[in-house]
Amino acid sequence: MEIGLDQDQRAFAEVCAKLAAELATRWSPGRGPDDTSPAEPDEVAWSRIVAAGWLAIGLDEASVVDLTVLVEQLGYHTVPAPVIGTLLAAERLRLGGAGQDLLDAIGGGEVRVAPLLRRDLTDYAGTAADAVAWDSAGAEVTHSPDGTGHHLGDPLPGADLTRRTRAVGPAAGHLALTDPGTEDRLRLTALGLTLATADLLGVMRAALDDAVEHARNRTQFGAPIGSFQAVQQLAADCLVSVEASRSALFHSAWAADALPADEAVAAARTAKAFVAPAAVEVCETAIQLLGGIGMTWESRAHVRLRRAHASRALFGDEHHQLRHLTGRLLGENGR
């Protein structure tokens, strides 16, 4: 039993955190909805991401644990760049047998792909009908399982300010893809769930850190509000949720690497069922602790709450996971 990140993974987390924080400073919610920076990274940001190797690590035999180290930082800094989308699209293409040239071009940031998900975001899409291109700001193409490439349409309305979902446009070329088979399809689902969970952990951790920092400094009645028991009780409960969510993420990521595919999906669903509502609640409580300032457009608090809701929906919210787990646990009578 060795539950935690190893030395290399901790070093990788630090490197990721540094660039993620930098990328975050290039983006601003602005003064209002019409003034917000785009979710699409500019050329400089994209080249930094490419240089960091973030788009290629999934193709470089990184473990799922490694990927979660990166994604947690993307969530923590609410990074406005389609890295998670690229990782999910690239892994789908790799398991579908896409050529090495294409994978290299994706890893090198030259071909910008987005994952084709069902419109309800609960899994990869089987066909382009009733599907969307998720986390696709700046992407050029998304692929159906049959290998058909599709142009991307306009951004669809969405709560998340740092990632965009776009409509699927007309066909654009064709790749020779094969069905990855049940085992690999389950692995893709486990990966998607686990990365969503990692993003949620990062977002909720940042929300709590921000709220705690505020509570230390904001003075009322002549004392920092963080010295009041009512404030401390809320913050402490948030930390319990964060710590439990980290344990859930660690297990989900380990299971995706180490367990048979069906068990990996069950572990990932269990983790997501716990972390999704916990993350939203922590982001909500953070706004409560920030008070009025947390309700302003300029505050990052709503940016995090928006992203938490989006990642909660990604590969299914807690209700969706519990429906699946109910069947597994309770059988026919549990239907």
In the complex, least distance from residue 231 CB atom to another protein, rounded to whole angstroms: 7
> Measuring CA to CA, how many Å separate 168 from each of 87, 139, 314?
19, 11, 18
**Residue 65: both structure tokens together:** 């644990």
**Residue 142: both structure tokens together:** 């998304």
Does 257 engage in binding with another protein (CB under 8 A)? Answer: yes
**Residue 306: both structure tokens together:** 């928006």
Under rule CB under 8 A, which residues in 204-223 are in contact with another protein? 208, 212, 215-216, 223
Identify the residue among 244, 260, 288, 293 touching another protein (CB under 8 A): 244
Identify the residue among 25, 100, 220, 229 touching another protein (CB under 8 A): 229
- Rg of the chain on CA atoms, in Å: 20
**CA-CA distance, 177 to 67, in Å (whole number)?**
24
In the complex, least distance from residue 223 CB atom to another protein, rounded to whole angstroms: 7
Of 160, 123, 166, nearest in space to 141 by CA: 166
Q: Which amino acid is at 198?
A: A
Of 274, 124, 302, 293, nearest in space to 200 by CA: 274
Does 233 engage in binding with another protein (CB under 8 A)? Answer: yes
Q: Which amino acid is at 289?
A: L
Nearer to another protein (CB atom), residue 13 or residue 45: 13
> Measuring CA to CA, how many Å separate 156 from each of 29, 136, 137, 161, 240?
18, 11, 11, 12, 35
In the complex, least distance from residue 278 CB atom to another protein, rounded to whole angstroms: 9
Site string for another protein, 292-321 (x = CB under 8 A): --------------------------xx-x
Does 21 engage in binding with another protein (CB under 8 A)? Answer: no
Does 239 engage in binding with another protein (CB under 8 A)? Answer: yes
Nearer to another protein (CB atom), residue 81 or residue 207: 207
Q: Which amino acid is at 262?
A: D
Does 326 engage in binding with another protein (CB under 8 A)? Answer: yes
Interior/surface letters 150-181, b for 16+ CB within 10 angstroms, e for the rest:
bbbeebeebebbbbbbbbbeeeeeebebeebe
In the complex, least distance from residue 41 CB atom to another protein, rounded to whole angstroms: 30
Phi/psi at 40 (nearest 5 deg)?
-85, 125
Identify the residue among 224, 281, 284, 298 touching another protein (CB under 8 A): 224
Does 231 engage in binding with another protein (CB under 8 A)? Answer: yes
In the complex, least distance from residue 250 CB atom to another protein, rounded to whole angstroms: 6
**CA-CA distance, 219 to 198, in Å (whole number)?**
34
Phi/psi at 279 (nearest 5 deg)?
-65, -45
Residue 219: enclosing H or E segment and its boundaries?
Answer: strand 219-220
In the complex, least distance from residue 330 CB atom to another protein, rounded to whole angstroms: 5
Does 331 engage in binding with another protein (CB under 8 A)? Answer: yes
Identify the residue among 131, 253, 286, 290 touching another protein (CB under 8 A): 253
**Residue 203: both structure tokens together:** 């977002």
Which of 85-93, 133-141, 187-195, 254-262 is the region at the interface with another protein (rule: CB under 8 A)? 254-262
Applying CB under 8 A, which residues contact another protein? Answer: 1-6, 63, 65, 208, 212, 215-216, 223-224, 226-229, 231-233, 235-237, 239-240, 243-244, 246-248, 250-251, 253-255, 257-258, 270-271, 273-274, 318-319, 321-323, 325-326, 329-331, 333-334
